């Protein structure tokens, strides 16, 4: 159950990162878009580690 809740939480972070990317692109904010892409990549790294355990 704990792992499932963690996965749901990371999924929510991924949704937020996607929305931040959309916002950055729409506002032509290169720094915000780049930071959001890095955040999204980090989310996938944490999920990969969570799935490996």
pLDDT at 11: 95
Condensed to tens digits (0 to 9), the pLDDT of residues 7-47 reads: 999 999 999 999 999 999 999 999 999 999 999 999 999 99
Which of 52, 50, 53 is closest to 10 using CA atoms?
Answer: 50
pLDDT at 45: 96
pLDDT at 6: 93
List the domain boundaries for the chain: 2-52
Ramachandran region, residue 13 (left: φ > 0; alpha: ψ -120 to 50; beta: rest): alpha
pLDDT at 31: 98
Condensed to tens digits (0 to 9), the pLDDT of residues 37-53 reads: 999 999 999 999 988 86
């Amino acid at each position: 159950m704990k792992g499932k809740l963690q996965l749901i939480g990371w999924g929510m972070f991924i949704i937020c990162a996607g929305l931040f990317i959309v916002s950055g692109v729409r506002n032509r904010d290169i720094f915000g878009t780049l930071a959001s892409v890095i955040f999204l990549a980090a989310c996938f790294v944490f999920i990969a580690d969570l799935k490996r355990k």
